[in-house]
Structure 1
């Protein structure tokens, strides 16, 4: 979980930097920067999906709450992935920046007319943060993460939500939140097992 979380945050940083470069001329997309940036963003989101699953598997207590949090977070990931894929499709199909909004209108209901996408687009980030933050708090209570990990997650999301131009900084904070992650049955359990009462 530690390496995957750090890698996911690093990919967000890379996406944010490419996004800033892409917008240097006033317009973003279509083109190589648009596509490559969104590809990095996509992989980063998928890795955060893996983090949710690994975090859920790591939680030793409150398993039901951990499962609910993982499911909620994964719904948020799915909402993010849908938006990213549409952006990539639009980038491929649009001839220039002016045509992107026209092409995007054709994919508002993709991949099916379920009528829930506008709500998911708004709720997706909230669900993702709620799930990931809940798992981080549970892991902090079990001393698998340090107390500042949930705070870094909140701060990272606040920065990204406030302004996408802050994505590099926000992504860095998201990745740093997992630097302190401890694997199950390793450091923490070893210290407890070697305590005076167990010798």
Structure 2
């Protein structure tokens, strides 16, 4: 997850020179995605610390209650915050797909990966594969992309 701290700025750079509104849109999506990434990393860190500190399931529940009782932790780390990751990623990929910088199937795969995680956390490995497929560079550039632009845009 922490690698998305590098992925979001790279996707933002792929948006390249565009209108002021396009730059603002890509920047806003990047900021949302980075905020969501921070929330997910914080959530995973809390989960790991609680898991290591607790001796049993009731101990884990007590520690989670203690952490989540602090004002703002629940929405920032467990409910609203993580959603920002998905919103930012889909937003950026849709913007790039509209500009023909990435294939249109990439935002669709992110939505499928997101739905997969919402169905069950047991499906997290499948969702990870879907996200990985989105980020794998294509074998060949998009038809409208020139060779020079496809080098700048590795997720065509």
TM bucket, shorter chain: 0.7 to 0.9
Aligned partner (choices 94, 102, 108) of residue 151 of structure 1: 108
CA contact (8 A) 1:72 1:127 kept: yes
TM-score (norm 2): 0.79
8 Å Cα contact 2:67-2:73 kept in structure 1: no
Deviation, structure 1 residue 160: 0.5
Residue number in structure 1 paired with 2:47: 87
Residue of structure 1 equivalent to 2:81? 124
The yes-or-no answer on 1:75 pairing with 2:31 is no
Cα offset, 1:102, TM superposition: 1.5
Residue number in structure 1 paired with 2:117 = 160
C-alpha displacement at 1:69, in angstroms? 0.5
2:90 aligns with 133
User: What is the aligned partner in structure 1 of residue 10 from structure 2?
Assistant: 54
Task: State the shift of 1:180 in Å.
Answer: 4.1
**Which deviates further from its counterpart, 149-158 or 117-126?**
117-126
Q: How far 1:167 sits from its partner (Å)? A: 0.9
Ranges in structure 2 where 5+ consecutive residues have no aligned partner: 150-156
The structure whose Rg is larger is: 1
- What is the count of residue pairs matched by the alignment? 140
The offset of 1:53, in angstroms, is: 1.3
Inter-CA distance 101–64: structure 2 relative to 1 (3 Å threshold): same
Runs of 4+ in structure 1 deviating by more than 4 angstroms, as ranges, are none
SS state at 2:67 partner: coil
Counterpart CA distance in 2 for 1:181 and 1:150 is: 15
Match of 2:62 in 1: 102
What 5-or-longer segments of structure 1 have no aligned partner? 1-44, 193-199
Task: Normalising by structure 1, report the TM-score.
Answer: 0.64
Instruction: Identify the structure with bigger relative contact order (alpha carbons < 8 Å, sequence gap 6+).
Output: 1
Other structure's SS at 1:188 match? coil
